[in-house]
Structure 1
C-alpha cells in the first residue's frame, strides 16, 4: 500500500507543478511589457505585481475594475487571458 501511494505521488507531481504555457513564439513577437500593462490599467486593472513566467506568460496580480483580487496569465503575443483566478 505504501509503495502504491509513493508511486502515485511521484507520477502526479509533474502534473501538479506544471507551469501554465502561454506561447512558444520568439520574444521579438511579444507585446511591449510597459504598453501591455498600460492597456490593462486603461481597462480598469490595478496591477500590484507583473512578471514573465517560466511558461512564457505575462502574469499579473492585482485587482480588476470591480475591486476583486485577480491572478491572470496572458499570452504575450495575442494578449488573450490563458488562465485566471478571480476572488469570488
Structure 2
C-alpha cells in the first residue's frame, strides 16, 4: 500500500506544478519573443526572467508598472495573459 501511495505521489507531483496550456498553434504563428518582451516593457513591466514553458506559454518573472513582483503566463499568439500571480 505504501508503495502505491508513493508511486501515485511521484506521478501526480509534477502535474501539480505544471503551468497552464496556452496554445496549440504552430510556432510560426507566435509573436516574436524579443518584440513581445519589448511590448511588455513599453507597458511598464520589468522582466527579470523570460522563458517558453512546456505548455506553450511565454512566461515572465519580474515586476509590473506598480513595482509588484509578478509571474505571468501569456498566450504567445494573442499576447493575452492566461495566468497571473502577484507575489507582493
Give me the TM-score of the superposition, normalised by structure 1: 0.84
> Matches of 1:72 and 1:65 in 2, distance apart?
13
Give the aligned partner of residue 15 of structure 1: 15
Give the aligned partner of residue 65 of structure 2: 65
SS in 2 for 1:83: strand
What are the ranges of 5 or more consecutive residues in structure 1 without an aligned counterpart? Answer: none
Give the aligned partner of residue 86 of structure 1: 86
What are the ranges of 5 or more consecutive residues in structure 2 without an aligned counterpart? Answer: none
> Matches of 1:74 and 1:80 in 2, distance apart?
5
- Kindly report the root-mean-square deviation, in angstroms, between the aligned alpha carbons of the 2 structures: 1.9
Runs (4+) of structure 1 exceeding 2 A deviation are: 1-15
